[in-house]
Structure 1
Amino acid sequence: MPRILLVEDDDSVRISLAKALGRYGHEVDAAPTGEQGLRMYRERAPELVVLDLMLPEIDGFEVCRRVRAAGNVPVIMLTARGDDTDIVGGLEAGADDYVVKPVEPRVMDARIKAVLRRGTPAPTEQPSTASFRDLIIDRASMTVTKAGREVALTPTELRLLLELSESPGRVLTRQQLLESVWDHSYLGDSRLVDNGVQRLRAKIETDTTAPVFIQTVRGFGYRFGPV
């Protein structure tokens, strides 16, 4: 049973969503403020955080940054509107996905399950270990090392790297990546992909201004190199 931390200051939303997610089989801890959310995060060690952005005391952006700095637990942010500033700010703070309120519990359950699945390797005929210069990807153990040091990746970052590296040299569109990594079967938000690539590059590239492993194909998407 996945342990979820829900941080939401609206009492009615927090209580109803926590109960609904419980019916879907999640174990939910709920906090009304950012400060309490961070305390529960340290005490309860959740597998995923659902985080409202507009919180008292410490806002959701700062909570997300602190959660991300502490480890690789995935974060789904809740935003009251499809505001570009909120969405971009949340993604830049380290969120893996976002849902615009009001959200139906079944939709939130689907987003949670999709994020948690990213830590599970997809079936592949690829060798379990592949080396690309000083980057080693072990699909069996789900570990990545760079210059001999293990790289700490979130489930989303790991899934993105596995997807891109499965066929080096092949160009994948943002929509293809949204479907295979984020499980968005509809025309989703390409900012999820671009932000995910940016965060992944920061961890595996020696020089993010001249990326070697994740190359942008302008007007199309991304490909994995070197080839």
Structure 2
Amino acid sequence: MEDRRVAVVVEDDDDIRGLMVALLGQSGFEVHAASTGTEGVELVRENDPALITVDLGLPDIDGYEVTRRVRRFTDAYVVMLTARTEEIDTLVGLDAGADDYVTKPFRPREMRARIEAMMRRPRAGMVPSPALGDGTTPAPAPSADRGTPAVSASGDGPASGPVSVLATSGPVSVLATETDLRLELDGLVLFPRLHQVEADGREIAMTPTEFLLLETLMRSGRVVRAKTELSRIIRGDEPDNGSFVSASDERTIEVHLGNLRRKLGDNPKSQRWVQTVRGVGYRMAGTPQMVS
């Protein structure tokens, strides 16, 4: 987590805007607030926040358009706030690039918990720097606290127990690890520590949630991850802790995976990389190789 946490609140309701400013301020954020969408986009551009909350109904451009515009230049977490409860509104918001969608009225304590869960996940450009071992000691991967299976360096598939990445040989410098450690599958390359994805040589811009889902699936290889597991993972829970996952939460995973496939250019019919296992969940089309 960054030492300096910045948030932008885009909300035209004075009371809710004041509540969000106070809530985020108490959580350690430096908060900038706007009452219009256009002003909010500029505040995001000027302050490079880690978190953005966006009201859907704004007096100029709506929250969907705000989200689309900021997604052109920021990887910040975007939480959309709205009084609308229709599923289509949630889907449109997620399709625009939002990471979460919260309906009003909301409980401040629950809002803080959701935000803190998101902030525990690294954004693009936030490079964790755990030291690697000497070739025999596993070093923690960025997603170790999420319980996602690891892929061994030999490409034998998901490992059991805590997530780890096995160093391939001898001491490796942190710099070399940051730039070279990667998961590869048929032209798809994911750099866990750089938070970067390439598909057939093209760098793919992803939201933090999309990156987390792809990393989870690639580390799982051919193991199928249920929508309930993936839903718990993106909200910061252990995948098998038994916490409630609603039908709406599962539909959210479907939308995120649809966006992910669209960005990769992965045809849903041929499913070159991400496969749907009907009635179960998702898995990769092969076992990614860990390369360092």
Q: What TM-score do you get using the length of structure 2 for normalisation?
A: 0.72
Letter in 2 for 1:180: I
Give the fraction of aligned pairs with identical amino acids, expressed as a percent: 40
Name structure 2 gaps, 5 residues minimum: 124-141, 145-162, 167-180, 238-242, 288-292
More helix by share: 1
Asked if 1:126 is matched to 2:165, the reply is yes
Contact 1:3–1:48 (Cα < 8 Å) also in 2: yes
Deviates more, 1:133-142 or 1:162-171: 133-142
Asked if 1:69 is matched to 2:72, the reply is yes
**Which runs of structure 1 show a deviation greater than 6 angstroms over 4 or more consecutive aligned residues?**
none
Asked if 1:153 is matched to 2:174, the reply is no
Q: What TM-score do you get using the length of structure 1 for normalisation?
A: 0.91
Q: Distance in 1 between matches of 2:8 and 2:75?
A: 14
Residue equivalent to 1:97: 100
Deviates more, 1:95-104 or 1:170-179: 95-104
Asked if 1:186 is matched to 2:244, the reply is yes
Q: CA deviation at 1:202?
A: 1.8
- Of the two structures, which has the highest relative contact order with CA contacts closer than 8 Å and spacing of 6 or more? 2
Residue equivalent to 1:200: 260
Deviates more, 1:65-74 or 1:6-15: 65-74
CA RMSD of the aligned region, Å?
A: 1.9
For 2:72, what is the secondary structure of its paired residue? helix
Question: Of 109, 113, 125, which aligns to 1:110?
Answer: 113
Q: 1:149-196, CA deviations, whole angstroms, 9 ceiling, x for partnerless residues?
A: 332222111111111111211111100000112336431411221111
Q: CA deviation at 1:51?
A: 0.6
Deviates more, 1:52-61 or 1:63-72: 63-72
Deviates more, 1:37-46 or 1:184-193: 184-193
Which has more radius of gyration? 2
Asked if 1:173 is matched to 2:226, the reply is yes
Alignment of 1:30-41 (within 5 A): 30-41=33-44
Name structure 1 gaps, 5 residues minimum: none
Aligned length, in residue pairs: 227
